[in-house]
């Protein structure tokens, strides 16, 4: 929901069996009877399955709680307050997600590659490393706040940004503990922490946001609630994991840093790609308000409302990415294994099948959001949001659908050992979005033009990025989707999206039935064109 997804998980495989035999699938002595090996395998499968279900449930709960936050915040702190908070979260999400992803993946990787009896040593060493990283990053974020607020033309967001430096700090302390639970394969406990934190954060954002809004400081209150939630979850996690024990087992600090630095760099590019458009739009929204003769609170309110409308559009436009990301959890290990076994035919088959499924799923979701953009905004937001942002959402949905495909393409490249190329293309895509959005901002003469032009610029940049990603994936893996599949999927997407422009708005009660209708029509067209069939169901 645009906030830092602690609920996102990383999986690092357990260390390989030390006994290099073909009969033992587990790390058990070779003298272990076969029935005990099978019993242990069944136990591990049940544990992993239950843990996977728990993590999936936590992720669903996290997304649902974010949806509740994004729906209620405009009503509790006003559309302008919601826009100001979106400005704050845009830059905060970059810092938070870089810290979270590198911490969880790094600590999970280090602990998973440490024998079980020595994991406490690795936990202590990695936590101290991330403590040394979190403090300077939080301080840097605190002092960078006035610079970013100046770029936004919004001095009123300095204090909220500085408050959220506490979130950056405590995320830097909490995320390594989540990574430790992940590396120890204590998935159920990890899921419980995620759900607990989601509840605390929702209560803090909405409760204190509403309380402070009565005095005209809803954004400050929401940020204080966010910070309190991050502070409270840390000792809860610490009580579960502890700080480990001194020792020399496991990867060294240098090895740990060598692993997390590329992860952090990739996340920097990814977050810039996701947040560049709304950050640039905020910059020009402030300029546009001043150019129209507005000053003081009137200028601030007008600019923040524009950002708030665009943020509402992003909420729905990002749905394909949030849902399709689960496909990468399946494709990544299969492709990595096929690559390690030097099996180019298996790699090509996985890429061809995975990308085709991604295109089909994206088509169904994107077509629905694009066709019913204004209706969806009316469903969850005040009516003015749907009226001002409906057309922009129709366009942005197409671009973010391309982003979901681009993300899968770069993930596949990473799994095939081309992580540098993947990071490079992500950085280029982020720069392309920023440059095109700057051009759109300079050309826009009023608010509706700024919203629409930013959506067009973002979508165009993401379509170009997805096309380049497809070309590079074809060169690297020797496979992509068949041209006929691409034509059928794109044709269906265009047909349903255009059809949506002629669907009138009948009221909130009709939105969900229309969603079902449009989704069904999209699937029916894919069946009629023979893109979907019995083989896919199998």
Q: What is the pLDDT of residues 161-204, one digit of tens each?
A: 999 999 999 999 999 998 888 888 777 888 888 889 999 999 99
Of the candidates 107, 131, 128, the one whose C-alpha atom is nearest the C-alpha of residue 119 is 107
Q: What are the residue ranges of helices labelled H in 295-382?
A: 296-317, 319-340, 344-371, 373-380
CA torsion 498→503→509→512, rounded to 10°?
-20
Distances (CA, A) of 321 to 264, 328, 404, 408, 504: 20, 11, 4, 9, 27
Alpha helices in 372-446 (DSSP H): 373-380, 383-415, 419-443
Neighbour tally for 524: CB within 10 Å = 12
Tally the C-alpha atoms within 13 A of residue 478's C-alpha that lie toward its C-beta: 8
Instruction: Give the span between the Cα atoms of 213 and 208, in whole angstroms.
Output: 8
**CA separation for the pair 305, 379 (Å, rounded):** 18
Dist. CA 514–CA 491, nearest whole Å: 21
Q: In whole angstroms, give the CA distance from residue 429 to residue 427.
A: 5
480: Cβ contacts below 8 Å, ≥ 6 apart = 351, 352, 355, 470, 473, 474
Cα-based angle 208, 209, 214 (whole degrees, multiple of 5):
95
Which residues of the chain fall short of a pLDDT of 70?
Answer: 1-52, 55-56, 249-250, 326-340, 537-538
Give dist(CA 101, CA 30) in Å, integer.
Answer: 37
Of 537, 477, 512, the residue nearest 376 (C-alpha): 512
Span 83-135, pLDDT tens digits: 999 999 999 999 998 888 888 888 888 887 777 777 888 888 888 889 999 99
The CA-based diameter of the chain, rounded to the nearest angstrom, is 83
CA distances in angstroms from 495 to 214, 280, 383, 488, 521, listed in the order given: 47, 31, 27, 10, 10
Position 20 scores a pLDDT of 36
Q: How far apart, in whole angstroms, are the C-alpha atoms of residue 107 and residue 210?
A: 37
Distance between CA atoms of residues 464 and 408, nearest Å? 15
Yes or no: say if 130 and 175 are a contact pair by the CB < 8 Å rule: yes
Give the integer Cα–Cα distance in Å for 339 and 342: 5
Assess contact for 213 and 77: CB atoms under 8 A: yes
For residues 165 and 137, the answer to whether their CB atoms sit within 8 Å is no
CB atoms under 10 Å from CB of 132, counted, come to: 11
224 three-state secondary structure: helix
Contacts of 259 (CB under 8 A, 6+ apart): 105, 106, 109, 110, 251
Residues 308-319 as b or e (16 or more Cβ within 10 Å = b): bbbbbbbbbbbb
Q: Can you give the pTM of this predicted structure?
A: 0.83
Q: Return the number of other C-beta atoms located less than 10 Å from residue 456's C-beta.
A: 18
């Amino acid at each position: 929901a645009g906030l830092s997804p602690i609920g996102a998980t990383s999986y690092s495989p357990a260390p390989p069996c030390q006994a290099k035999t073909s009969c033992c699938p587990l790390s058990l002595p070779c003298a272990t009877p076969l029935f005990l090996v099978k019993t242990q395998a069944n136990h591990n499968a049940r544990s992993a399955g239950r843990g996977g279900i728990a993590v999936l449930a936590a992720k669903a709960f996290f997304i649902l709680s974010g949806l509740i936050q994004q729906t209620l915040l405009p009503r509790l702190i006003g559309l302008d307050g919601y826009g100001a908070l979106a400005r704050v979260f845009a830059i905060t999400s970059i810092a938070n997600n870089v810290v979270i992803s590198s911490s969880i993946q790094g600590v999970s990787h280090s602990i998973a590659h440490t024998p079980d009896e020595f994991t406490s040593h690795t936990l202590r060493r990695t936590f101290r490393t991330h403590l040394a990283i979190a403090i300077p990053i939080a301080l840097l974020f605190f002092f960078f706040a006035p610079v970013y607020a100046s770029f936004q033309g919004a001095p009123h967001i300095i204090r909220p940004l500085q408050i959220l430096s506490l979130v950056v700090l405590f995320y830097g302390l909490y995320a390594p503990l989540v990574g430790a639970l992940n590396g120890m394969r204590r998935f159920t406990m990890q899921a419980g922490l995620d759900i607990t934190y989601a509840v605390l954060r929702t209560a803090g954002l909405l409760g204190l946001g509403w309380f402070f809004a009565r005095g005209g400081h809803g954004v400050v209150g929401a940020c204080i609630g966010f910070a309190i939630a991050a502070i409270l979850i840390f000792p809860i996690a610490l009580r579960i994991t502890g700080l480990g024990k001194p020792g020399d087992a496991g990867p060294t600090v240098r090895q740990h840093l060598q692993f997390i630095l590329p992860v952090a760099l990739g996340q920097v590019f990814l977050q810039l790609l996701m947040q560049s458009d709304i950050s640039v739009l905020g910059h020009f929204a402030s300029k546009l308000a001043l150019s129209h003769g507005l000053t003081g609170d009137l200028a601030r309110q007008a600019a923040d409302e524009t950002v708030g409308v665009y943020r509402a559009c992003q909420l729905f436009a990002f749905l394909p990415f949030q849902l399709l990301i689960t496909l990468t959890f399946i494709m990544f290990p299969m492709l990595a294994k096929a690559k390690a076994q030097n099996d180019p035919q298996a790699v090509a088959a996985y890429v061809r099948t995975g990308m085709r499924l991604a295109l089909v799923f994206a088509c169904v979701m994107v077509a629905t959001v694009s066709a019913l953009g204004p209706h969806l905004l009316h469903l969850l937001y005040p009516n003015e949001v749907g009226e001002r942002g409906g057309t922009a959402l129709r366009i942005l949905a197409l671009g973010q659908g391309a982003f979901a495909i681009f993300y899968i393409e770069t993930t596949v490249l990473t799994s095939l050992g081309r992580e540098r190329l993947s990071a490079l293309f992500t950085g280029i895509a982020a720069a392309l979005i920023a440059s095109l959005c700057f051009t759109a901002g300079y050309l826009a003469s009023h608010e509706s033009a700024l919203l629409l032009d930013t959506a067009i610029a973002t979508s165009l940049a993401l379509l170009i990025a997805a096309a380049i990603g497809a070309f590079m994936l074809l060169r690297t893996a020797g496979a992509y989707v068949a041209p006929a599949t691409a034509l059928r999927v794109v044709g269906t997407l265009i047909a349903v999206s255009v059809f949506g422009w002629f669907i009138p708005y009948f009221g909130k009660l009709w939105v969900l039935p229309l969603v079902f209708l449009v989704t069904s029509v999209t699937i029916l067209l894919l069946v009629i064109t023979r893109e979907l069939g019995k083989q896919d169901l199998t």
